[in-house]
Structure 1
Amino acid sequence: MTLHWDRATASVQPPLAVVDLDAFDANAADLVRRASGKPIRVASKSVRCRTLLARALSRPGFAGVMAYAVPEARWLVASGFEDVYVAYPSVDRAALAALAADAHQAAQVTLTVDSLEHVHFLAALDRPHGLRVALDVDASLRLGRLHLGVRRSPLREPADAAALARAASAAGLSVVGLMFYDAQIAGLPDSSPAVRMMKKRSADSLGRRRGEVVAAVRAVADLEFVNGGGTGSLHVTGPDPAVTELAAGSGLYGPTLFDGYDDFTPQPAAAFALPVVRHPGPGFVTAFGGGYVASGPPGWSRVPAPFGRAEVKLVKSEGVGEVQTPLQGNGVRDLGLGDNVWFRYAKAGEMCERFDVLHLVSGDHLVETVPTYRGEGKNFG
């Protein structure tokens, strides 16, 4: 695969980033296959490129955007995207006020709330009436005092969700959705029998509670969507009748954190190349740049991984560096100055924060060069 990328980008000066369209499309088809007929809302943070967001949404099985910031959602709607759900709470008063003042955008964007604090914050805007909101409900697994999952929403029980929906409606907000993100299932590879057992227990527990929460909120609000799952749990969440749509984005690019799942294997669709700039000694080369470490708990799982050449590995005492990355192994022997070394990123869209453009390739051909969010001068945090 990397030989094709080398040929397709032979005229491009590295560092550079590619997205392989054949792999991207194959991954999109696999996501749809695992979704059990439910539409997939595309997670924009995992793509961060308008051209590729549109490519995914042009395929049957995808509908709507899951954005991460209100200014981003407004920009996407102004660009022609529809049904944009900002899946994280916002306290950006200027962006929220601008959204509330624009009837078209307010009709296309849904905001997230998970507490009375959020409701009161939105209600204090000049024109909050008619703003669309969805409740983010905690989807973690609780075993006594043990919390398995991400720390995000405090909203968990059916009665509390219904009470918040009533309060939001009373404040003039339109409650149109629910969200359940099962990070302990969707974002965790099947690395051991204990993990597999935990994921099954979590899915069973969440399935029961999710149905109860949905029923309680539907009794007080006219819901348009119930969102659940992620790239790693589409096949688990899709069959749940309480869920009306799923969410995914990382699976389109196939980053390294999605290696090691039992039920699917995404193709590596996104990667970046660094040029060799020196030979510090026998069995070593140094590449330019490379310190693109992904967010999350610190560790080697968050570091870019050399890809496409056997027996090329990072130097553990140095890792990936701010302006240079040393590599070692038998596979570096035939690397000369200016040759590309390819890396896969640990996460998906975060890679785009390092590059202004993505080179879209198919086979040996460079199809198109398109801007990332960064390349369009957009930084949403």
Structure 2
Amino acid sequence: MRVSSVSAVAYDLATKDLDPPLAIVDLDAFDANADDLLRRAAGRPLRLVSKSVRCRYLLERALARPGFTGLMCYSLAEAVWLAKLGTADDIVVAYPTADHGALRALAADERARGAVTIMIDSPEHLDLVDAALGDGHPEIRVCLELDASWRPVPGVHVGTRRSPVFTPRESAEMAKKVLARKGFRLVGMMAYEGQIAGLQDVAGSSPRNAVVRWMQRRSAAELVQRRSAAVAAVRALTELEFVNGGGTGSVESTGADPSVTEIAAGSGLIGPTVFDGYSRFRPRPAVLFALPVVRRPSRGIATLFSGGYIASGPAGASRLPSPYLPEGLTLLGMEGAGEVQTPVTGKAARALRLGDRVWLRHAKAGELAERFTDYHVLAGDRVDRTVPTYRGEGKSFG
């Protein structure tokens, strides 16, 4: 468990007039994390990943900092909503869409059409847009995704399963198909190296860690060559506004690729537990949630209300929320974090009384916002404001 530099008492006092369950943003930590991301990017623009935040106030606060340029959204409906609100005028949707209603909303809104770029990796994506909008539809901005996984030998795939476009030749062929279609404008390329950005290497010397770091070095070196060649092949056919790569976990290695013009990042602002296993950087926990003690089944166990906020990804302990403050608490292996109750144990559990708060961290950055309608924003030792999450604004994009 990560050692905290903040006491539970400070958070308890700041929120003493609020009833848990509640979620907070430690603004000092959030701003420090933003500074650290910019430092790691070393002057390369950062595109802010909205799925890792899911709160307009925090998105706008980060975007106000020089160095953060534009948004990367996870849903076209989300992107159109944010464009209409003026949150950003440069938005890339990181995943292809099959949402006909959102495509029609995009086509019908001139401001959104100028701001939003959708993701494609096959002619079928273009066909889907044509089917949704009909012949003669307004020009739609598109970005071509290159698969960034590592394939050291035939049949071995290390990384996320994303685009079928893998080689420079396939990139150029797909670009030609886009350029030949009316109603589309190819403006960018993207490649997400999940095997580097999204994989813990856990500082240390265990054999597993050594293998992960070896793989990441080899994969990064291969990707620089292949991505550079793919970008060059597409740039020979048309101008590109941007080439996006990476994530919070790979800012340094992605920034070393000269073909990349911007780096995607977002989770590093929040500091979820998934980053506790990275050796290269360590963001401060900036978003926490508090649960009240409602039972004392034994001297060494305190039971919290609710808490089953399980993160997405491969099922396992790494997706459970983690007790953070007071220090010295752990979940029970037989119960974990439950739908209506979450028992915790450890030395600190003996001092907990009914009504006391336990502060926990979520495993992934933005998904906690799906559980809470509001974030209470702490500036120093007080609640500066309360802001809605996407859910609090009545929005849920899947």
Q: Is the shorter-chain TM-score for this pair beyond 0.5, marking a shared fold? A: yes
CA distance in 1, matches of 2:372, 2:108: 34
Match of 1:131 among 105, 116, 140: 140
Q: 8 Å contact 1:37–1:238 — kept in the other structure?
A: no
Q: 8 Å contact 1:122–1:128 — kept in the other structure?
A: no
The aligned counterpart of 1:143 is 152
Match of 1:63 among 58, 64, 69: 69
Q: 8 Å contact 2:306–2:341 — kept in the other structure?
A: yes
The alpha-carbon deviation at position 107 of structure 1 amounts to 0.7
Moved over 3 A (4+): none
Match of 1:204 among 207, 221, 232: 221
The alpha-carbon deviation at position 150 of structure 1 amounts to 0.4
Question: What runs of 5+ residues in structure 1 fail to find an aligned partner?
Answer: none
Match of 1:75 among 61, 81, 88: 81
CA distance in 2, matches of 1:379, 1:248: 21
**Is the partner of 1:148 in helix, strand or coil?**
coil
**Is the partner of 1:150 in helix, strand or coil?**
coil
The alignment of Structure 1 onto Structure 2 pairs a total of residues equal to: 381
Deviates more, 1:1-10 or 1:317-326: 1-10
Question: What runs of 5+ residues in structure 2 fail to find an aligned partner?
Answer: 1-5, 203-208
The aligned counterpart of 1:269 is 286
**Is the partner of 2:293 in helix, strand or coil?**
strand
Q: 8 Å contact 1:4–1:363 — kept in the other structure?
A: no
CA distance in 1, matches of 2:65, 2:111: 25
Q: 8 Å contact 2:147–2:166 — kept in the other structure?
A: yes
The aligned counterpart of 2:199 is 188
Q: 8 Å contact 1:287–1:327 — kept in the other structure?
A: yes
Match of 1:54 among 45, 57, 60: 60
Kindly provide the amino acid, as one letter, of the partner of residue 276 in structure 2. D
The aligned counterpart of 1:12 is 18
Match of 1:215 among 205, 228, 232: 232
CA distance in 2, matches of 1:128, 1:302: 43
Match of 1:293 among 310, 314, 317: 310
The aligned counterpart of 1:29 is 35
The aligned counterpart of 2:114 is 107
The aligned counterpart of 1:159 is 169
CA distance in 2, matches of 1:15, 1:53: 23
The alpha-carbon deviation at position 258 of structure 1 amounts to 0.7
**Is the partner of 1:82 in helix, strand or coil?**
coil
Residues 314-355 of structure 1, C-alpha deviations (whole Å, 9 max, x = no match)? 110010000000111111111111111011100000010000
Match of 1:241 among 247, 258, 265: 258
Residues 209-256 of structure 1, C-alpha deviations (whole Å, 9 max, x = no match)? 000000011111210000001001001111221000000000000000
CA distance in 1, matches of 2:122, 2:138: 18
The alpha-carbon deviation at position 311 of structure 1 amounts to 2.2
Kindly provide the amino acid, as one letter, of the partner of residue 190 in structure 2. M
The aligned counterpart of 2:353 is 336
Q: 8 Å contact 2:84–2:111 — kept in the other structure?
A: no
Over the aligned positions, Cα root-mean-square deviation in angstroms equals 1.0
The aligned counterpart of 2:45 is 39
Cα–Cα, structure 1 residues 128 and 137, in superposed 2: closer, same or farther, change >3 Å? farther
CA distance in 2, matches of 1:114, 1:3: 51
CA distance in 2, matches of 1:101, 1:310: 53
Residues 98-121 of structure 1, C-alpha deviations (whole Å, 9 max, x = no match)? 211222210100000011111221
**Is the partner of 1:143 in helix, strand or coil?**
coil
The alpha-carbon deviation at position 5 of structure 1 amounts to 1.5
Aligned-residue identity in percent = 55
Q: 8 Å contact 2:289–2:359 — kept in the other structure?
A: yes
CA distance in 1, matches of 2:49, 2:308: 25
Deviates more, 1:309-318 or 1:202-211: 309-318
Deviates more, 1:10-19 or 1:120-129: 120-129
CA distance in 1, matches of 2:188, 2:10: 44
CA distance in 2, matches of 1:295, 1:206: 27
Kindly provide the amino acid, as one letter, of the partner of residue 31 in structure 2. D
CA distance in 2, matches of 1:88, 1:155: 14
CA distance in 2, matches of 1:249, 1:188: 16
CA distance in 2, matches of 1:285, 1:103: 55
The alpha-carbon deviation at position 290 of structure 1 amounts to 0.4
CA distance in 2, matches of 1:28, 1:187: 19
The aligned counterpart of 1:376 is 393
The alpha-carbon deviation at position 123 of structure 1 amounts to 2.8
